[in-house]
Amino acid sequence: MAHATELRGKRVALIGLGIESMALARFAAHEGATSLTATDNRSTEAVAANMAALADLPVPISMLAGGFQEAAWADADVIFVSPGITPGFEIRVPGIDEAAARGAIISNHTQLLFERCPAPIIGITGSSGKTTTTSIIGEMLHAQGGRRVLVGGNIGIPLINEIGALTAADVVALELSEVQLARVHTSPHVGAITNITPDHLDRYGTFERYIQAKRQIVRAMTPDDYAILNLENTPSRESAAFTHGQVLHFSSQRQVELGADVTGGDIWLRLPGRAPIRVCGADETPLLGLHNVENILVACIATGLMGVEPATMAGVIRSFRGVHDRLEFVREWHGVRFYDDSIATSPSRAMAGLRAFTTPILLVAGGKNKELPWDDFAKQIVRRVRAVTVMGVSSDFILTAIEAAQATIPPAEQQLRQVIRVTSIEEAVARLAATATTGDTVLLSPGCASHDMFTNYEERGRRFADAVRALPE
């Protein structure tokens, strides 16, 4: 039976030449595509290294740089669109609708992977928790052993060129952002929505559009597939109405009928056709925060459906120490502990970071707001944080939100004593270190994107950690 996206003998176009498109170019060339044409909004010089890495392909690849050029896909049979391109970009770059109307297939790396992978796929999406959950799933699957396991998607490397050696007995775990799901009309065998909270409104315009983008992961499920949904998050929970898959829930607050929960301080797994079984104590994980317990619940359901034993899950829960830039411990300095939560690029993620601590908090916040409301986060800052530094292009917006929160919260409920505007993350570390005392926590949990001051959130986290480690003894 032919694959839904046939590449042999086809003219293939790639819109955007990032890491996934490079993997697709290599895969298409070896599948027998007759031509490869890429276009990118970056300059020829900016994409030169990527083009050089593809110089060994059996089919030469041509490049139209300096803007997305319709000539690249005008006669293409298959058009792969990079996930880095803003949804709705067709309005700005004409010709895609016309290409689809004449019969061209519009696809992306995720869709092709879903079509070609012989092994069952676990897909994880959500506003937060994706990377940690996917990483725990990978660790649990590896610890169980007995089959090949691939972990990728939004973490690691694109997997399209790695699946050739897989069989139906193996398993793939994918972290999937909403942009990677934008052109997907197939669902994974197991799909989870960890949570959906306001994010990327600068891209989607409305929260509802963002919710629908996340729900794409479960829309094409069959009754033989499984949708794992958050009972305590309304958009995730209500995604049950958009899937034909079997629905399992997770909750850190109450017992669920099918799925996983925390009951009596213990993690319980409740899978279809099996008796409920205790996995371990919820407090046995070294990870901070209730949100990480919820990530663990998702991992237990997903891997339990794949045959991982509860004892194996428990071993990983006790040993897994997290992922970089996610409430990552950096250093203890004169009794003050520093944590890097640079991944917190939205107020909701930053609030989860604050809730992970009971110690006094000194907060590093700011960057580029993604058109998200800060009212609730500002109130938490006023109630929970003793000092905050604010940096980045959205500083005025953030300072206004904090001032509004201070005006509405009774003085007796306010913990905030210092609001400090800074121009660099190094200055933020130095100022907070100077005011911190033994027992305090200094937390980088910005609530904003990083692109106004850094290449990405990883660079922001590294710069924070470097500044912390440079503090004199």
pLDDT digits (tens, 9 = 90+) for 308-358: 999 999 999 999 999 999 999 999 999 999 999 999 999 999 999 999 999
Q: Are residues 172 and 196 in the same domain?
A: yes
Confidence (pLDDT) at 93: 60
Residue 6 CB coordination number (10 Å): 14
Question: Tokens 């276009």 map to which residue?
Answer: 39
Confidence band (pLDDT; 50, 70, 90) for 1? very low
Q: Total domain count for the chain? A: 3
Exposure on the CB side of residue 463, measured as CA atoms within 13 A:
17
Residues 253 and 124 in one domain: yes
Q: How many residues does the chain have?
A: 473
Of 319, 347, 372, which marks where a domain is finished? 319
Whether residue 433 sits in one domain with residue 348 = yes
What's the CATH number where 26 sits? Answer: 3.40.50.720
Q: Considering the domain boundaries, does residue 1 fall inside one?
A: no
Under a CB-based contact definition with an 8 Å cutoff, are residues 381 and 416 in contact? yes
Residue 84: its pLDDT value, please? 72
Do 227 and 157 contact (CB within 8 A), yes or no? no
Instruction: Assign 321 to helix, strand or coil.
Output: coil
- Over residues 155-181, mean pLDDT: 94
For strands 336-340 and 328-333, give the pairing.
antiparallel
d(CA 14, CA 54): 13
Smallest CA-to-CA distance from 231 within 303, 175, 298 is with 298
Residue 4 included in any domain: no
**What is the pLDDT at residue 310?**
98
Q: Give per-residue pLDDT as tens, 272-297.
A: 999 999 999 999 999 999 999 999 99
pLDDT tens column, 12-26: 999 999 999 999 999
- Cα separation, 67 vs 265, in Å, equals 55
Residues ≥6 apart with Cβ < 8 Å to 345 = 199, 367, 370, 446, 447, 448, 449, 450, 457
Q: Which two three-digit tokens encode residue 247?
A: 């629905």
138 shares its domain with 255: yes
| Model pLDDT for residues 99-138, shown as the tens digit of each residue | 989 999 999 999 999 999 999 999 999 999 999 999 999 9
Mention every residue, 6+ apart, whose C-beta is less than 8 A from residue 151.
Answer: 134, 135, 137, 138, 172, 173, 174
Task: Say whether pLDDT at 184 is over 50.
Answer: yes
Start-to-end CA distance of the chain, whole Å, equals 67
Query: In the β-sheet with 11-15, what is the strand arrangement from edge to edge?
Result: 61-64, 35-39, 11-15, 78-81, 105-107
Is residue 295 helix, strand or coil? helix
Integer Cα distance of 57 and 30 in angstroms: 8
Q: What is the pLDDT of residues 390-438, one digit of tens each?
A: 999 999 999 999 999 999 999 999 999 999 999 999 999 999 999 999 9
Strand (E) or helix (H) holding 12 = strand 11-15
87, 165: one domain:
no
Residue 124 lies in a domain: yes
For residue 92, the model assigns a pLDDT of 56
Q: Which domain holds residue 134?
A: 111-319
Residue after which a domain boundary falls, among 80, 107, 134: 107
Tokens of 117: 């992978």
CA geometry: angle at 185 spanning 181 and 187, to 5°?
75
For residue 5, is it within any domain? no
Domain match, 312 and 241 both:
yes
Looking at the fold, whether 81 and 25 belong to one and the same domain comes out as yes
- 393 found inside a domain: yes
Residue 2 — very low, low, confident or very high, per pLDDT cuts 50/70/90?
very low
Same domain, 272 and 347: no
- Closest by CA to 428, choosing from 384, 396, 466, is 466
- For residues 100 and 116, membership in a common domain is answered with no
Q: Which CATH number is 334's domain given?
A: 3.90.190.20
- Shared domain for 164 and 297, answered yes or no, is yes
In a domain, 297, yes or no: yes
Q: Region 149-156: what's the mean pLDDT? A: 93
Domain containing residue 118: CATH number: 3.40.1190.10
Residues 62 and 159 reside in one and the same domain? no
Residue 172 lies in a domain: yes
Domain end point (choices 107, 135, 150) = 107
400 to 21, 86, 349, 450: CA distances (angstroms): 42, 29, 20, 20
Residues 159, 223 within the same domain: yes
Residue 102 domain flag: yes
